[in-house]
Amino acid sequence: MAEKEPDGLLAAGGDLEPIRLVNAYSSGIFPWYSEGQPILWWSPDPRTLLFPGKLHISRSLAKRLRQGRFEISFDLDFNRVVSACATVSRKQQDGTWIVDKMQAAYKRMHILGFAHSVEVWQDKELVGGLYGMSIGKAFYGESMFSLVPDASKVALVMLTKRLLAWGFHFIDCQVVTSHLVSLGAETVTRQDFLQLNQLAVESEEKFEWRQEAVTTNDA
């Protein structure tokens, strides 16, 4: 049973071994903690989801995508994306929750085929991206970064388009932000999320994630 305060805190302790992470995400639970804390496990209520078929792309973002100034790749440089998410400075945030143990855990999950990244390139430089976990037809977004305007939005849009083509049920965004709402994310109750999640993770279909960089108007 998840605690109401802090919102969704379920348990503390344990480890970040692959089997524990797979079981946790399959049960609608994710780790999130800071340096010096025990591993904290969360299942917030409400939960923020982006359904691929409900993606909203603003006119300005659509124009930027058509211009083809960005290139997009998948699983081309997972480690750099994770490192960038951990080190990029963010407003109203001191330090990072993507501590060394978390980075190592997700890098291992990437090798095992569960964790994936989207890279956004401009003039051959990595300027944005995101990473997360994929089980069945559910994608669990973990973190994103942007070094130039709209780069993280571009990453999320291109990921969503790919997941729509693959028949994924949702992207779990965990908690709500105005950034996500602008792209069409919505909140559901924990109970509804757990039901949706159970259906999504049952799929045993496999997908080819890796893709070399192509411009956004070709992706």
In a domain? residue 13: no
List CB contacts of 102: < 8 A, sequence separation 6 or more.
16, 31
pLDDT at 66: 93
**CATH number of 54's domain:** 3.40.630.70
In a domain? residue 1: no
In a domain? residue 52: yes
- Measured CA to CA, the distance from residue 76 to residue 117 in angstroms comes to 8
In a domain? residue 31: no
Residue 29 has which token pair? 């639970």
In a domain? residue 69: yes
Nearest in space to 18 (alpha carbons), one of 105, 143, 113, 138: 105
Tell me the CB-side half-sphere exposure of residue 76, using CA atoms within 13 A.
17
130 lies in which domain range? 45-215
pLDDT at 79: 98
In a domain? residue 135: yes
pLDDT at 137: 99
What is the rounded average pLDDT of the residues 168-193? 94
In a domain? residue 55: yes
In a domain? residue 74: yes
pTM here is 0.94
Count up the domains in the chain and report the number.
Answer: 1
Quick: pLDDT tens for 188-205. Answer: 999 999 999 999 999 999
Quick: pLDDT tens for 39-92. Answer: 999 999 999 999 999 999 999 999 999 999 999 999 999 999 999 999 987 665
